[in-house]
Amino acid sequence: MKKIINTPEAFVDEMIEGILLAHPDQLRTPGDDPRVLVRADAGAPGRVGIVTGGGSGHLPLFKGYVGTGLCSGVAIGNVFSSPSSQQVFEATQAVDGGAGVLYLYGNYGGDVFNFDLAADLSELEDITTRTVVGRDDVASQPKERKADRRGVAGIFFAYKAAGAAAERGDDLDTVAAIAEDVVEHTATMGIGLSPTILPTTAQPSFTLEDGEMEIGIGIHGEPGIHRGMLETADQIADRIVGALVADLELTAGARVAVLVNGMGATPLEELYVLFRRVHQVLSGLEVTIARSYVGEYATSLEMAGASISLLALDDARLALLAAPARSPFFEEV
């Protein structure tokens, strides 16, 4: 696998350096650690801060959602590895404006451990924190174990809603409750067609035979729920949307936001072919798509594949999704 890098060891830091050089008006490092990034106006007095974080390799997740109406800061780990508790704590200090800080990140063991440690460090500095964990991957656990599901692309909806709430001046408990509400009403499932090749090892994150696909695969190559011969775009969409609709218990008259997300190596044209079928299926169920997002929102380096996320909407969730937001990787006006 050919990669445009210098050395595997420098990959993450040089990527971050490039982002900062490209977007100096939007992002900054608050201290000496380049793996802690915050929005340019982080720490505004009276505004709730939102800190996210996780491993590299998933752009625009996580660092791509630091900006106006989104997250306030991010702690960045190595490829597919958690940031340290100290990095999370430094991001917390930088974004705290006296109104407290929400931790909003995906449900992975290392991240949970280090964010929890950072919360303890923050408490010693009289910074109040709340935690909401993304857990939208319906393939990773059955519904009765929803709390143990992985967090994947659907966390975008939580960033958007919580960021809008913080921007309008809601207090910490309200921002956290909004994030939790959105997480609770979000469901995602993905499909993998080819693996990621890790820069440090040059090894694939999983293997598939020629002509195979895997439904339910995780963004780090975690096993899915079905492996078989590649199906048509319509068949794939039918499988995934059927599972999401059942999980969210959607009925006629429901409204949803749809995210069709590319995993890194899937052409945008193919994502729109998927969206076309998603629209057909939901329309046939008399479920209205009130907002739609198609593109790369949570990738896995050069993995080929896609995921589909649905957020069940009410008026409050819809208004928060529609609020303005801007980061180097996303803009909603």
So what's the pLDDT on residue 198?
86
Q: What is the pLDDT of residues 247-295, one digit of tens each?
A: 999 999 999 999 999 999 999 999 999 999 999 999 999 999 999 999 9
Tokens linked to 263: 């995993």
Q: Pick the catalytic residue: 58, 185, 226, 279?
A: 58
CATH of domain 8-185: 3.40.50.10440
So what's the pLDDT on residue 285?
98
Q: What does 57-86 look like in DSSP terms, one character per residue?
A: SSTTTTGGGBSBTSBSEEEEEEET-PPPHH
- What architecture is the 186-322 domain classified under in CATH? 2-Layer Sandwich (3.30)
Alpha helices in 285-325 (DSSP H): 315-322
Q: Pick the catalytic residue: 23, 220, 226, 279?
A: 220
So what's the pLDDT on residue 287?
98
Alpha-carbon distance of 100 to 172, in angstroms, equals: 6
CA dihedral 212, 215, 221, 222 (to 10 degrees): -130
3-state DSSP of 177-239: HHHHHHHHCEEEEEEEEECCECCCCCCECCCCCCCEEEECCCCCCCCCCEEEECCCHHHHHHH
Tokens linked to 70: 């989104």
Give residue limits of the domains in the chain: 8-185, 186-322
Q: Return the SS3 of 34.
A: coil
| pTM assigned to the model | 0.97
3-state DSSP of 101-145: EEEEEECCHHHHHHHHHHHHHHHHCCCCEEEEEECCECCCCCHHH
Q: Which residues pair with 289 in a beta bridge?
A: 256
Is there a catalytic annotation at residue 220? Answer: yes
Alpha-carbon distance of 54 to 96, in angstroms, equals: 20
Q: What is the pLDDT of residues 70-101, one digit of tens each?
A: 999 999 999 999 999 999 999 999 999 999 99
Q: What is the pLDDT of residues 153-179, one digit of tens each?
A: 999 999 999 999 999 999 999 999 999
Per-residue pLDDT at 200 exceeds 90: no
Q: What is the pLDDT of residues 109-139, one digit of tens each?
A: 999 999 999 999 999 999 999 999 999 999 9
Per-residue pLDDT at 236 exceeds 90: yes
